[in-house]
Amino acid sequence: MTARTQFLDKTAEIFFILVLAVFPLYLNSEKYVGLTSHKAKFFWIICGLTLLAVICSVLTTRPGSWSHLKDLRLSAADWAILAFWLFTTLSALASPNQNLVWFGADQRNSGWITTTCYVMAYFLISRCYVPRERDMLIFAGGSIILCAIGILQFYGIDPFSLFPYDRFVNANGTSQYTSYTIFFRTTLGNVDVVSAYVSMALLFFGALYVQGKNAGRFIYLAAAILNFWLMLMAGADSGKVAVTAVMILLLPYWLASRRSLGRTLVLASCWGVSYCLFCISALVIGARLASAGPVPDFFAQFSGGSYVPLLLGFIVLALLGAALMIWGERLPFQFSPRAAKIVGVAVLVLTLLTGILGVEILGARYGDQPQHVLYQAREVLHGRPDDDFGTGRVFVWRSSLSVVGEHPLLGTGPDTFDIAFTPFQAETQQRYNLVFDKAHNDYIQILVCCGVPALAAYLVLLLCAFIPAVGKAFDSPFLFAALGAGLSYGVQSFFGVDVPIATPLFWLILGLAAQASHSVKRDFD
């Protein structure tokens, strides 16, 4: 390894740690006030300094020594991301909203600068970074700290005094915030952003635990459990849907061997125990709040059912998984890796069919309750989602698609959704008492703001980055982790928002997955 190779590798490693372990914990002195803008500026500074270091390294080295960057050949994913950046740039140049497109609107900050930082992060990680166990453990450590902050907040302990107000509901219905307000959590802020982060992190660390080969896997298990607990506390459904979908889609990997199956049972049962303990604690908190005044809607949803039998069932499942890991070799039947993959695919297909059938049958029973999640899921299967589904998201999506025809090629410019959506803002405010400055769907957001070619390039990028990782993920812990976390973001971003708080994590994961597109095989050092 040449001196410049070592320098770029070390630069990429520092960047990886800063973005994944330090950046999520960063807070300005104003705390939740202006959080997105402060986070975005910090991310821009990290990317700017890193890019400057890379440029200096390139300019001070002979061109003949550049071959270590995987021969500088561009993969299909590389071409796709360059096309995405090009169309985003053209969209910004052509937009009449020049005051917004470059840095993005205040408190959204998803303009051209942010997109360029994402592209830089992708190339730095996919080309220069060598995954290391210590980096993943540092990432897990930062995530554990973040989760601890959010969990303490939920139980009324706010160590950094992040909540500036006391919550109460007065005669005219106005309300303010305390630690029991569900809208803000941790150093990430909005619960939708928290949900995006934890839905990626818990699968990333869960996968590393299942395929881990040393004692560090227990740190990954702890991080996966705490992120799951935080996901429950955030209350946003998008992350829960994403995690459930990815756990099902990756069944062939979870069941790939006796060790994987045993650890998956331990992981799932630990999540189950966390769920039971969380529900029990929420019942206790709700009862205490009820004695003092109005109960926040989040706590009002918990019934007084007993979780103890379910808790005991998950504990038994955990013991079963541990026994399978310890004594699995003594079982009379043995499966080859190929047979295990076939069984995993068969279980996946059976699970999908059972799920679809279950939604069809159970959803039909709630025809008189149009807001029930099973009924809404059945309507989605039949292509009849209600406009009010997901707090008006379906209405926003349909309305957004109707404006695409006005600027199909380049859109209205990066981060200008609220301007494109102006004809419908009055109606959404009347129907939902909300003003939508985001599509609450990353794919529609790109389509409206940057045009059809940009969305096409983005979709090709996702396919080209993750499809080559599918086969190798059985044997590579970091590829399995990247695949799980990336798929989770892809699912939850169908309901979520893109702001430079949790999204940088996705682009680094995308870079990790894209390494599989290149000829050089990399795994943990």
Residues 468-493 pLDDT 10s: 888 888 888 899 999 999 999 999 99
Q: Which tops the pLDDT comparison, 254 or 164? A: 254
- Which pLDDT does position 52 carry in this prediction? 93
pLDDT tens profile 202-243: 999 999 999 887 878 999 999 999 999 999 988 778 888 899
Residue with tokens 């839905």: 199
Q: Is residue 307 part of a domain?
A: no
Percent of the chain whose predicted confidence (pLDDT) is above 90: 41
Asked if residue 201 belongs to a domain, the reply is yes
**Domain coverage including residue 35:** 3-249+438-517
User: 329 in a domain, yes or no?
Assistant: no
pLDDT band at 507 (very low <50, low <70, confident <90, very high): very high
Number of domains forming the structure of the chain? 1
Establish if 258 belongs to a structural domain: no
Do the Cβ atoms of 114 and 40 come closer than 8 Å? yes
- Let me know: does 150 contact 208? Beta carbons within 8 Å: no
Whether pLDDT at 285 is above 60: yes
Structure tokens at 486: 């990336």
Q: Which of 157, 187, 245, 214 is nearest to 29 (CA)?
A: 187
Residue 228 lies in a domain: yes
The pTM assigned to this predicted structure is 0.89
CB 488 within 8 A of CB 231: no
From the number of C-beta atoms within 10 Å of its C-beta (0-12, 13-18, 19+), residue 221 rates as buried
* Position with higher pLDDT, 156 vs 278: 278
Residue 505 lies in a domain: yes
- pLDDT exceeds cutoff 70 at 61: no
Percent of the chain exceeding pLDDT 70 equals 84
C-alpha–C-alpha distance, residues 96 and 87, integer Å: 16
Q: Annotate 406-453 with DSSP letters as a single string.
A: GSTTT-S-TT-HHHHTHHHHHHHHHHHS---SS-SSHHHHHHHHH-HH
Residue 308 included in any domain = no
What pLDDT was estimated at residue 162? 79
Choose between 398 and 355: higher pLDDT: 398
- What pLDDT score was predicted for residue 174? 46
Domain-embedded: residue 65: yes
Give the count of alpha carbons within 13 A of 208, CB side only: 32
Q: Give the pLDDT mean for 293-297.
A: 65
pLDDT class for 172, splitting at 50, 70, 90? very low
pLDDT band at 523 (very low <50, low <70, confident <90, very high): very low
The chain-wide mean pLDDT, for the chain, equals 84
Q: What are phi and psi of 175, to 5 degrees?
A: -140, 155
